[in-house]
Amino acid sequence: MNYTAKEIAEITQSKLIGNANLCVKNIAFDSRTIYSTTDTAFIAITTQKNSGEKYISSVIEKGINIIISEHKTDGFDDVTWIITPNSVEFLQKLADHHIRQFPNLKTIGITGSNGKTIVKEWLYQSLWDEFKTVKSPKSFNSQIGLPLSLLQIKPDHEVGIFEVGISKPQEMEKLANFFSPKIGILTHIGSAHIANFETENQLIDEKLKLFKDSEIIIFNGDNQLVYNKINELYSSKKLISFGLKNHNDLKITNDWKDRNTEIKISYFGDQFSFPANQRDEATLSNALAAIAVMKEFGIENTRIVEKLNNLKTVEMRLESVNGLRNNLIINDSYNLDLDSLKIAYQFINEYNKPKKVLVLTDFIEGENSDTLYQEVANLTNEQNFDKILLIGAEISACQNLFTSETNAFNSTSELIESLKLNQIENSLILLKGARKFEIEKIKNILELQKHDTVLEVNLNAILHNINVHKSLLKPETKMMAMVKAFSYGLGGYEIAEFLQYHHIDYLAVAYVDEGVDLRKNGITVPIMVMNPEQNSYSTIIDYNLEPEIYSFRVLELFCEQLKSKGVSGEYPIHIKIETGMNRLGFKEDEMDDLIQKLKSENVKVKSVFSHLSTADDLSEHGFVMQQINTFQRVTDQLISGLGYQPIRHILNSSGIVFYPDYQFDMVRIGIGMVGISYNPEVQRLLQSAVSFKTVISQISDVKKGESVGYSRRFIADEDTRIATIPVGYADGIPRLIGNKVGKVGINKHLVPIVGNICMDMMMLDIRDLNANEGDEVVIFNSNPTLEMFAESCRTIPYEVLTSISRRVKRIYIKN
């Protein structure tokens, strides 16, 4: 976009205060990820839950000089203000105006419950070299995300691919008012979004509103209800159904589960086939959606197959790994265009590293224009990198456009040979390159230790899982994240830092040391300590941690400590009520005394809580209700005695999904963040956030009658192949899953563990499998899942995760 402040105010009927001629090319809405202040306006978005207005002064400090807001903040009279009655509608009006300027743009709108982002990315990968294409960044598809995506359209774009998502009734109507795609795509419709829609019928009707003015609708026709509705409602449009069922226009005609054959497809009777590595329903349906669109754009079958082979199965991921010499490496070598560069610059703003280094290659995909490298340099110069390393002839020719200390190289290997990389220390290193340059080689050189065995933690999945749980709650209900025991084994401050960034209200740890560790790593969110050991009270106070007080003994000792340290003011504490678990807590008959004591001490009860002992077991409904009723009664008494209202909370993850009516003021999420729910409806919506994996060290042919491992517990019953992997009981794998009790995954197949598990290794029988040394082995993630793995260990996911030893390297992934 490119408008003056005056034009924007006119288009959106807003009030303008200040310089009418300022130019706006970008609108930023998240103060933390502003990567450029040039021609950028900040919009303070006000929603039910949050208001961006509290960040206005900080963005002005960063150098932004146009603010769009519902209210003018006092002072700041030298910046330009655009005052609108409703910030969300403002964006929608502006997007509406903007998209009308491009009547010839071929717009594609993708909606559906699952698969929107991957279909969008795949369409982009399929179309960008045929047409000048713009797409929604990340999964920007909401009432705010969609307009921001549309504002990216420029005059030379030929195709625009946008995601459209809704979570409540009536939302699509609003979106369809300003975005009416020429080609509508409906991906998979899952079971109704539990919280907000009454029936599947209602959900489908709402989604279909997007297509009211579409010329073509491409839809997954496997759901009979969807199929019938579209055919009834939109019979006058061009309809193309795709899916695995036979009635679809675009379908698979052979047995796609048979790995030995290619996938054969038929498009209105026109037949062709393509190879596919990944054969699950969701992936194939998404591929069919991409095929239907390519067909619609007149792409030849042979080209379509070529493009399908090149699709990248992973979503765009920015991977962060610890490097040598205290560097932090952010690796983004998925694709390189201006938009993804902006996203990477936003992303690195989330880290606090004193120095920043950039490795950047030629842009070979898409937009190649004379002004491209000038634009890249302008954007890059605003980021203040301490050092820039350029790779490739084109970008090297523009070296003098960059204002930081810059070196240029013709190839990745030339850079590696120069040994420049070895001089970098204490820095954040962003690796941003087009595929062709293989800059992941640089990552391998810079990485701390190359470990074959890793626990990979997907932070975005954690956020997604939190949001799924939040969708079951009232917007004002607070959330405490349980990060005890090294965040259930996933990591200490890394998880807490991510949660803090995403505005978690509270954190809770088991022991003081865990809390101190978080504070030392810059975590400022309030932290509750559940097991404040009696020798640790002084440390609790020094680090501003908040103890759980569960008995008079603890209360007295803690108050003594407060006095002896001369702490003034009321110190925050949390009162634990015993309601049926019989672990820790004050009992009902202690309330009168407790109230007296609390009123006489220098403490402030921040929260009062209890813990459910069987929230995951529906057959114990009666007991749960008894606990909840006790909690209600006891806390009513406590609150009226205290004369003020602490935060009340009793639900853990299972409580949230089964008893949302009793959310009180806050809930405590734990295992739900990891992607585990005991409610199958919710489980389907969650994403696995942890993946424990390794690689095959060696494969041996073992003859019939030979034995494997300690004590010869496996004897081959016929000639077979044995794979050894470098994970053993010292890594946290229980010895009891040896000898064919447990299985792990190789190339999506489950293979049995044979023989006794060793301290650092174990052996697998891979007799029928086509596997090689160095191949990836999944201990758990999607197959086997963490639950399946825990079951074979005869325990629960909690114990599996917290048993994984510290020597297993944790790596963190963010989109």
Ligand X SMILES: *Cc1c(COP(=O)(O)O)cnc(C)c1O
Which residues fall in the annotated binding site for substrate?
A: 583, 759
Residue 502, both tokens: 């995403």
Name the DSSP letter for residue 506: E
Residue number with CB closer to ligand X (157 or 484): 484
Contact between 192 and 223 under an 8 Å Cβ cutoff? The reply is no
Among 390, 439, 504, 671, binds ligand X (CB under 6 A): 671
Is 138 catalytic? The answer is no
Ramachandran area for residue 765 (φ above 0: left; ψ -120 to 50: alpha; else beta) = beta
The least CB distance from residue 326 to ligand X, in Å, is: 33
Nearest to ligand X of 429, 673 (CB atom): 673
* Spatial distance between the Cα atoms of 322 and 300, rounded to a whole number of angstroms: 45
Does 672 help bind ligand X (rule: CB under 6 A)?
Answer: yes
726 in contact with ligand X (CB under 6 A): no
The H or E element containing residue 657 is: helix 653-658
Which of 12, 652, 677, 781 is the binder for ligand X (CB under 6 A)? Answer: 652
- For ligand X, the closer of residues 142 and 652 by Cβ is 652
In angstroms, what is the minimal distance from the CB of 655 to ligand X? 8
Q: How far is the CB of 502 from ligand X (least distance, A)?
A: 18
Cα(440)–Cα(455) distance, integer angstroms: 20
Tell me how far apart the alpha carbons of residues 479 and 490 are, in angstroms, rounded to a whole number: 19
Question: Which is closer to ligand X, CB of 529 or CB of 530?
Answer: 530
Separation in Å, CA 320 to CA 353, 410, 452: 13, 26, 16
Q: Which is nearer to ligand X, 670 or 734 (CB)?
A: 670
Q: Which stretch binds ligand X (CB under 6 A): 282-290, 635-643, 668-676, 771-779?
A: 668-676
Nearer to ligand X, 479 or 727 (CB): 479
Q: Is position 668 an interface residue for ligand X (rule: CB under 6 A)?
A: yes
Binding-site size, ligand X (CB under 6 A): 11
Q: Residue 176 contacts by C-beta under 8 Å, 6 or more apart in sequence?
A: 209, 210, 212
Q: Of 55-63, 382-390, 416-424, 669-677, which part binds ligand X (CB under 6 A)?
A: 669-677
Are the C-beta atoms of 82 and 67 separated by less than 8 Å? yes
- Is the Cβ of residue 147 or residue 670 nearer to ligand X in the bound state? 670
What does the block give as tokens for 574? Answer: 């949390």
Candidates 12, 87, 653, 792: give the one binding ligand X (CB under 6 A). 653
Distance in Å, CB of 672 to ligand X, minimum:
6
Stretch that binds ligand X, among 256-264, 415-423, 491-499, 670-678 (CB under 6 A): 670-678
* Catalytic option among 15, 154, 704, 710: 710
CB neighbour list of residue 179: distance below 8 Å, 6 or more residues apart: 95, 99, 107, 109, 146, 150, 162, 164, 210
CA dihedral of 367, 370, 374, 376, whole degrees rounded to 10: 10
Instruction: Select from 308-316, 361-369, 449-457, 647-655 the region that touches ligand X (CB under 6 A).
Output: 647-655
Q: Which of 675, 460, 664 is nearest to 579 (CA)?
A: 664
What the block records as the tokens of 653 is 């993850």
Question: CB within 8 A of 550, min separation 6: which ones?
Answer: 575, 576, 578, 584, 585, 586
75: exposed, middle or buried (C-beta count within 10 Å: 0-12, 13-18, 19+)? exposed
Least separation in angstroms between residue 538's CB and ligand X is 24
Q: Which residues contact 22 (CB under 8 A, 6 or more apart)?
A: 4, 5, 39, 65, 66, 80
Taking contact as CB under 6 A, which single stretch among the options 283-291, 456-464, 631-639, 651-659 is the one that binds ligand X?
A: 651-659
In the complex, what is the shortest distance from the CB of residue 801 to ligand X, in angstroms, rounded to a whole number? 10
Between 343 and 638, CB nearer to ligand X:
638
**Member of 165, 184, 547, 670 binding ligand X (CB under 6 A):** 670
For ligand X, which stretch binds (CB under 6 A), given 101-109, 284-292, 416-424, 665-673? 665-673
Q: Does the active-site annotation cover 710?
A: yes
Closest approach of ligand X to the CB of residue 649, in Å:
8
* Residue closer to ligand X, measured from CB, 90 or 506: 506
Q: 149: which residues sit within 8 A by CB, 6+ positions away? A: 135, 136, 137, 140, 141, 162, 163
Torsional sign, CA 68, 70, 72, 76: negative
Q: Which of the residues 504 through 563 are near ligand X (CB under 6 A)?
A: 530
Contact stretch for ligand X (CB under 6 A) within 308-316, 557-565, 600-608, 646-654: 646-654
470: tokens are 């939040």
- Which of the residues 5 through 24 are near ligand X (CB under 6 A)? none
Measured from the CB atom, the residue of 35 and 488 that comes closer to ligand X is 488
Helices marked H in 502-620: 512-520, 537-542, 552-564, 591-600
Q: Footprint of ligand X on residues 425-484 (CB under 6 A)?
A: 482
CB of 111 to ligand X, least distance (A): 32
Minimum distance from residue 521 beta carbon to ligand X (Å): 21
Applying CB under 6 A, the span of 158-166, 237-245, 283-291, 666-674 interacting with ligand X comes to: 666-674
SS (H, E, C) 108-172: EEEECCECHHHHHHHHHHHHCCCCCEEECCCCCCCCCHHHHHHCCCCCCCCEEEEECCCCCCCHH
Q: How is 265-331 classified by DSSP, letter by letter?
A: EEETTEEEEE--S---HHHHHHHHHHHHHHHHTT--HHHHHHHHHH--SSPP-EEEEEBGGG-EEEE
Q: Residue ranges for the binding site?
A: 583, 759
| Residues 213, 172: Cα–Cα separation, whole Å | 13
Interaction of residue 693 with ligand X, rule CB under 6 A: no
Cα 113–119–125 angle (5° rounding)? Answer: 165
SS3 186: strand
CB nearer to ligand X: pick between 481 and 716: 481
Question: 135, 251, 307, 484: which is the annotated catalytic residue?
Answer: 484
- Other CB atoms within 10 A of residue 136 CB: 26
Question: Does 574 interact with ligand X (rule: CB under 6 A)?
Answer: no
Shortest Å, Cβ 638 to ligand X:
18
Q: Which residue is nearest to ligand X (CB)?
A: 670
* HSE-CB of 693 using CA atoms within 13 angstroms: 20
DSSP string, 701-730: EE-TT-EESGGG-EE-SSSEEEEEES--GG
Q: Count the neighbouring beta carbons within 10 Å of the beta carbon of residue 101.
A: 10
The Cα–Cα gap between 388 and 380 comes to: 9
Q: Tokens representing 656?
A: 């949230």
Closest distance of CB 692 from ligand X, Å: 18
Pick one of 93, 611, 743, 814: the residue that binds ligand X (CB under 6 A): 611
The residue ranges that bind ligand X (CB under 6 A) are 482, 530, 611, 652-654, 668-672
Give the catalytic positions in this structure: 484, 710
